[in-house]
Amino acid sequence: MPRKKIVLYNPRAVFFTMPLGLLAVGSALDRTRYDVVIVDARLEADPIEALLAALEGAACLGIGVLTGEPIRDAVAASRAAKARFPQLPVVWGGWHPSLFGKGCLEEPSVDATVQSQGEETFREIVNRLAQGESLRGAAGCTFRNERGEAEQNPPRALKAVDNFASHDYTLLPVERFFTLKGKRQLDYITSQGCFFRCAFCADPLVYGRRWVGLSPDRVGNELADLHARYRFDDVNFQDETYFTYADRVAEIAEQILRQGLKISWAATMRADQGDRLPEEVMALCRRSGLRRLIIGVEAGSQAMMDHIKKDIKLEQVFRSAEKCRRHGVAVIFPFIVCFPNESDASIQASLDVAHRLRAMSPAFSTPIYYFKPYPGTRLTDEAEQYGYVPPKTLEEWANWDWYDSDGPWVTSGRARLIERYKYYQDVAYATSGFWSKPLQKVARWRVEKNRFALPVEKVISDRIRPRQALS
C-alpha cells in the first residue's frame, strides 16, 4: 500500500528557530504509512506556491500556529489549500490553537485544532482521517462536526516524552537554518511543560502545571548522533524550564562530556533553581559548554512578584546572577512592566533592578516587555476590569505583538519612560555596534540618574533603525 503524504506548514515569523513542534508531530507518525513533508514559509520565496506544490496528492495539512503575525500567514495558507484542494483536511496545532481551540474553527478553512501535547493527538487525527472516521472522541482536539459546529473532545493526558520517537531532523533543511542563524546552532528540546503557576503565562493552562522530560542517556545519545550528522557547534535547548531537576541537568552535562561533544549550549532557568543549584553542578555545566541562560525576573518589587505568582524572591535573582557571573555564564533577565494594577513605584523598581543586573556583567542583558493578557488567567481577568478588551477574531489576534504597549492602563507617560529607558540602557551597555564612546557615556549617565528628558539621540536612532515587530 502506498504511503499517504502528510504536509506540515510553518508560517512566516521574524525568527529562525527550527520548527520543533512540527518536527515532533511529524516524527511521531508511522513512517511505513505516511510520507511527511515540512514546508517552512520562512525559507521560501513564495511560501503559498511552495505549499500548494507540496500538497499535490496529500492526505492532510497540519499547521503550527503562534499568536500574532504568524496567524495571518496560517489563515492565508489554509485558505489557499482549501481553494485548490477543497476536500483536504486542515488541522492547526501549537500555542494559539491550544488556547483557542474553538475560536480557531471560526475560520472556515480549518477543520480541527490540537490542544497541548500534539504527538499522539495528531497521529490519531491522521489515522482516523485516513480510515474515513469521525474525530468525535479523539482526545486532545476540537473539530467541526457534521453540522458545521465546533465540538471539543476531552483533553489528552500528558504522556512521558521518552515514549515518543526521536525527532527526525532529516525532515528539515538543517544546513539552511545554520546559514540563516549565522551559526551552526541546533535547536533541541528535552522536556515539555512546567510545574509553576506564573499568573501571566499560558503554560499552566496548556500543560496543567505538569512536566515530562527525556532521560539524560537518551539526550546524550541523540545529541551525539545529531552531531555526527550535522557537526553543529552550539545547542539551544528550547525547554520551558530546563533546570527543573538539578541532578538531571548534571547527568546531561556529564553525557555531553562523555560523548566528547565540543559544543556550547544555552537554556532556561528560574532564579530559585539557580539559587539552589550546587556550585559543582554549575561548574560541571560550564565545563560541558554552558554559555548562556534565560532567567525570568518579570518584576522588580517583591510585592508585584508575589502578585503575579512568580514564587521567587528578589534575593534569589541576585544570588543566581552572582553565581552566573562567577562562572562566566551570560544571562538574559527578561522583565514585564505595566501590569494592570501596577504602580509607578513598582515600574520604577523593575527598571532599577534591571539596571542593577545589567551593571553586574557585560554578559548580562535585561529586555523589558509590556504585560500582554492571555485569556483564562487571573491577570487577564484583572486587565478586563481595567478596560482591556481582548482580541475576538483571528484577524485581531494576528495584529497582536509582544512589543506593543496597548493596555488601557499604560499611560503615555509610562510608555515614554519605558521606551526611553530601554533605548538608553541598550546604548549604555552595548559591547559592539556603531555607538560612539561619548554617546555611551551620555546614555550611561542618563540611566544611572534616571534623566530621560529631550531624548535627541533616541529620536535620531529610531529614524535610522526602526524597530522590528516581535511576533
Q: What pLDDT sits at residue 451? A: 84
CATH match for 161-464 among 3.30.750.200, 3.30.1330.30, 3.30.1360.120, 3.90.660.10: 3.30.750.200
Name which of 31-40, 196-205, 245-254, 296-305 the model is least confident about: 196-205
Half-sphere exposure of 252 (CA within 13 A, CB side): 29
pLDDT at 301: 97
Amino acid 375: pLDDT: 65
Give the model confidence (pLDDT) of 425-458 as tens digits: 988 888 766 557 778 888 888 888 888 887 877 8
Residue 387 has pLDDT above 90, yes or no: no
Q: Is the pLDDT of residue 2 over 90?
A: no
| Of the candidates 60, 81, 66, the residue with the CA atom closest to the CA atom of residue 5 | 60
Q: Are strands 141-144 and 112-114 parallel, antiparallel or unpaired?
A: antiparallel
Q: What percent of the chain has pLDDT over 70?
A: 96
Point out the least confidently predicted range of 132-136, 284-288, 292-296, 412-416: 412-416
If you average pLDDT over residues 195-211, what whole number do you get?
92
| AA identity, residue 340 | P
CA 212 to CA 79: how far, in whole Å? 35
pLDDT band at 380 (very low <50, low <70, confident <90, very high): confident
Q: What digits encode the pLDDT tens for the residues 325-341?
A: 999 999 999 999 999 88
pLDDT in tens, 122-143: 999 999 999 999 999 999 999 9
- E strands in 69-120: 90-93, 112-114
Instruction: Return the closest-CA partner of residue 14 out of 44, 53, 42, 50.
Output: 42
SS3 468: coil
Tell me: pLDDT of 291 over 80. Answer: yes
Helix ranges (H only) for 359-434 are: 378-385, 394-398, 412-428
pLDDT of residue 48 exceeding 60: yes
Extract the runs of DSSP E, i.e. beta strands, from 357-405.
Answer: 364-365, 368-370
What pLDDT is stored for residue 372 in this prediction? Answer: 86
CA gap 452, 406 in Å, rounded: 22
| Distance between CA atoms of residues 159 and 162, nearest Å | 9
Over 60: is that where the pLDDT of 6 sits? yes
Cell digits of residue 53? 506544490
* Confidence category of residue 405, pLDDT binned at 50, 70, 90: low
* CATH (one of 1.10.1060.10, 3.30.70.3190, 3.40.50.280, 3.40.50.1820) for 4-144: 3.40.50.280
Contacts of 162 by beta carbon, 8 Å cutoff, 6+ apart: 214, 215, 218
For residue 243, pLDDT over 90 is answered with yes
Show the cell assigned to 468. 522590528
Mean pLDDT, residues 307-314 taken together: 97
Judge whether residue 471 has pLDDT over 60: no
Name which residue leads in pLDDT, 458 or 58: 58
What's the pTM?
0.93
What average pLDDT does the structure give for the chain? 93
Let me know: does 408 contact 388? Beta carbons within 8 Å.
yes
What is the predicted pLDDT for the residue at 396? 92
221 has which bridge partners? none
Q: What sign has the CA pseudo-torsion 323, 328, 332, 337?
A: positive
Quick one: cell of 124?
Answer: 490519531
What is the H or E stretch that residue 453 is in?
none
In this predicted model, which residue has the larger pLDDT, 404 or 312? Answer: 312
Q: Where are the domains of the chain?
A: 4-144, 161-464
Residues 6+ apart with CB under 8 A from 466: none
